[in-house]
Structures are given as structure tokens and as C-alpha cells.
Amino acid sequence: MLIPLPILDYLTRGGWVLWIVFGLTSVMLTLLSERFTYLAWHWRKRHRKIITLWRARTDRSSWRAHKVRETLLAREQAVMEAGFPVIKGLIAICPLTGLLGTVSGMITLFERMGYHGLTVGPMLLESLSRITLPTLAGILVTIVGVYAYTWCLKLAERRQHRLADALTLSDPAPPLRSANAS
């Protein structure tokens, strides 16, 4: 089995809703790690290509050049922030899913109390774990998700500002003289 035994035990104690929280967490962390990987390493190659394309232009000060620059920046912003709306949605769903676990755990607890009364202690403790574990997991995943999402978003903004600063709106620099020309 791919899931270690203590985690598997934790998931089974939390009930079926905890498995949903686990699935949502897996998807969210996969998307966050993909964004982090792009923003930490792969953005340089793309930005170099955009800067080279921009510097190859002879006209960098006209209205048309402004629009080309805006288009380049907007496209790059879309690439850098790809997946962020999905991550934001998953962050919003996690605490609600945890609360769903609380409700389903309460229903299970009341059902068991109705059938067996208050005499069966271990059964009531199991129901209590089904009440609390999904809520705690949903809140914990949300806290971690908000922190990681905010960090990736700020990193994307810094990279975007760096690219915008590199795409200067001025007349092209005079061509460099080669060493052989003199």
C-alpha cells in the first residue's frame, strides 16, 4: 500500500469525509508544487526569451510598442498565475468539507446513541473521532494552503515586476561596437 500505516489509521478513524479531504489536499499540493517549480526555476528561460524578443525590436517607444509590451506582460502573467484560481477554490472547499465530516459524524453519533444508548463507550469515541478529525484536517489544510498560495502569488508578482522592469519603454540603445571595429 502506498499510504503509511499511521496515516491510513488516521484516515479510517476520520471516516469517508477525511478521504475526500485527503484527495483535495493531494490535488492542491500537486498544483502548488507545480506552480512553485515553475516560479522557482522554469520562469527564467521563458523570461529570457521574452526579453530577447523585446530587445530585438527597433521600435520601443511608439504606441504600438506599448501595446506589444502590454500584451507580452499580460500573456506572461496568465502563464505565471495558471492554476491559481483552482488552488484558491480548493482552499475554500477544504474547511467546508471538514464541516461536512462534522455533520456526518454527528449523524453517526446520534444514530448509534439511538440504537445502543450511552452504554457503548468505544463506539461513542469512534463517532467523536469522526466528528473532530475531518474538521481539524480541513482547517489545517486550509491554513497550509493559504500560506503556500500567498507565497506563490507574491513570488509570481515579483517575477512579473522583474519582467516589466526589463521591458523598458525607450529608444533602443546604440549598437555596441565590436572589438575588431577600432
Indicate the pLDDT class of residue 107, thresholds 50, 70 and 90.
Answer: confident
CB 105 within 8 A of CB 138: no
Over residues 4-23, the mean pLDDT reads: 79
CA 112, CA 108: separation in Å to the nearest integer?
Answer: 6
Total count of domains within the chain: 1
Residue 49 lies in a domain: yes
Task: Quote the domain boundaries for residue 75.
Answer: 13-55+63-169
Cβ atoms within 10 Å, residue 174: 6
Average pLDDT over the chain, rounded to whole?
A: 83
Q: What is the pLDDT at residue 111?
A: 79
Predicted structure pTM score: 0.76
Cβ within 8 Å of residue 105, ≥6 positions away: 15, 17, 127, 128, 129, 130, 131, 132, 134
- 166 grid coordinates: 526589463
- Residue 5: inside a domain, yes or no? no
pLDDT value of position 93: 93
Query: Residue 30: its pLDDT value, please?
Result: 94
Grid coordinates in use for 173? 540603445
Residue 18, in any domain of the structure: yes
pLDDT band (50, 70, 90) for residue 15:
confident
59 close to 169: Cβ distance less than 8 angstroms: no
Closest Cα partner for 92 from 153, 30, 149? 149
- 104-108, 142-146, 156-160: which range is least confident on average? 104-108
Q: Calculate what percentage of the chain has a pLDDT beyond 70.
A: 87
The mean per-residue pLDDT over the stretch 7-22 comes to 80
**Confidence at 182, pLDDT banded by 50, 70, 90:** very low
Distance in angstroms (rounded) separating the CA atoms of residues 52 and 70:
16
Q: Single out the residue of 95, 83, 88, 97 nearest to residue 17, CA to CA.
A: 97
For residue 176, the model assigns a pLDDT of 47
DSSP-H helix ranges across the chain? 5-14, 16-37, 43-55, 63-80, 84-116, 121-166
Does 180 have pLDDT greater than 60?
no
Per-residue pLDDT band at 125 (split at 50, 70, 90): confident
Does residue 122 lie in a domain region? yes
Q: Specify the higher pLDDT residue, 42 or 91.
A: 91
Is 81 part of a structural domain of the chain?
yes
Q: What is the dihedral of CA 87, 164, 37, 11, to 10 degrees?
A: -20
Q: Considering the domain boundaries, does residue 34 fall inside one?
A: yes
How far is CA 140 from its chain centroid?
Answer: 15
The answer to whether residue 51 is domain-embedded is yes
- Give the integer Cα–Cα distance in Å for 106 and 108: 5
Q: What is the maximal distance between C-alpha atoms in the chain? A: 100
Q: Rounded CA gap, 155 and 31, in Å?
A: 15
Residue 100 belongs to some domain of the structure: yes
Q: Give pLDDT, residue 55.
A: 84
pLDDT at 149 over 90: yes
